[in-house]
Amino acid sequence: MAVRSFGSGINMELSPRLRFKLERWKNAFRSIFSPKKESYDTSLRMCPNCRAFVERGASSCSFCGAALKSPRARSGTAPSRVLGGLLPIPSTATSAFVAANIALYAISWYLTATGPDAATASGTISGQVLVRLGAKFGPYMLAGQWWRLVTAIFLHAGLLHIGMNLWCLFDLGPEVESLFSTAKFVVLYLVTGVVGFIVSFLWSPGGLSVGASGSILGLVGILIGASFHHGQLGKAYRSQLWRWVLYIFIFGIFFSVDNAAHIGGLASGMLLGYVIPDGEPETQAGQNLWNILSVICILIIAASFAMMALQFNQTMQ
């Protein structure tokens, strides 16, 4: 397939890798507008030597001749879609984060409904319940409860709040997970969310804030950062992503949202997306490193919620 290069009359033959990424990026952007969508070709995988896409079962690369190991399963490689193409079925790590968000919202709704603030017709969650479950809350964080930077990522203040965030996570999560690998995705999701709440705390030390928005903007930032490595194709995709960022911040002007967390997540995501190579690690040592980092992140999340459980009955001041 040939395309015309921008600003010249020369035809440029795309590499297999860029051709594959172009189709993926086009599908990602059009996913919410197109009722029908072809799924990605799961029969392909990336050669760790020349990074071209070859047949998944091939024993050697047809482009550079490098010997290939047996392929590892990647649940995020080709997310199928539901609701007429509107949403992708989330892949491994994305599914876990979606389930965690829903579970925490169900718990917070129940605690609100059975507490003194039982007006939950709109799904609004009591601020006291959110603080007990681990919201970012300056006074307690200054007292040493820094684990709230993690637990706050999985809490939401109402149905609209969690609905918007899960819609974005359903759409962006599989894209980033398939582009970077599941292990990298876990690390990137947690780090950008934590950085977002750190910026939020520095901006408003006494404020209360919850939500996955920092991580969501982090995913957008990661895609923006990665796009800088793909020339004109990346530039075209990046312009679409910046429009999404603009829409989100305009939305934030008219509604009570934590724009500081958004900025922190977006900025950290752009940096990480730029410096971390996309695709699976090229060496086994690299794969082991990212696996270890992802396990550490999971343990940090588990430990943070364990700390939340230990102080759950703490009296509100």
62-107 pLDDT, tens digit per residue, is: 777 777 665 444 434 444 444 444 444 446 899 999 999 999 999 9
Q: Is 159 helix (H, G, I), strand (E, B) or coil?
A: helix
Cα–Cα distances in Å, from 27 out to 86, 146, 166, 277? 11, 39, 19, 21
Give the Cα separation of 187 and 304 in Å (integer): 15
Residue in 268, 95, 124 with CA at minimum distance from that of residue 210: 124
Which stretches of the chain drop beneath a pLDDT of 70? 1-54, 56-57, 68-91, 117-122, 232-233, 252, 254-255, 314-317
Tell me if 41 is assigned to some domain.
no
Q: Residue 256 and residue 134: Cα distance in Å, rounded?
A: 19
> Which pLDDT belongs to residue 312?
82
Instruction: Give the separation between CA 208 and CA 51, rounded to whole angstroms.
Output: 45
CB 1 within 8 A of CB 14: yes
Q: Is residue 18 part of a domain?
A: no
Is residue 157 in some structural domain?
Answer: yes
Backbone angles phi, psi at 88, to 5 degrees: -85, 150
Residue 59 lies in a domain: no
For residue 171, what pLDDT is reported? Answer: 84
Nearest to 47 by CA among 279, 315, 240, 284: 279
So what's the pLDDT on residue 30? 52
Domain-located, residue 26: no
Q: What is the CA radius of gyration of the chain?
A: 21
What CA–CA distances, in Å, run from 132 to 144, 148, 190, 208? Answer: 15, 10, 21, 12
CATH number at residue 100: 1.20.1540.10
Query: Sign of torsion, CA 24 30 32 37?
Result: negative
Which domain range does residue 205 map to? 91-310
Give the span between the Cα atoms of 101 and 156, in whole angstroms: 8
Establish if 21 belongs to a structural domain: no
The whole-angstrom distance between residue 289's C-alpha and the CA centroid of its chain comes to 20
The tally of domains found in the chain comes to: 1
The pLDDT value given to residue 120: 56
Flag whether 143 is in a domain. yes
Q: With respect to residue 270, please indicate whether it lies within any of the assigned structural domains.
A: yes
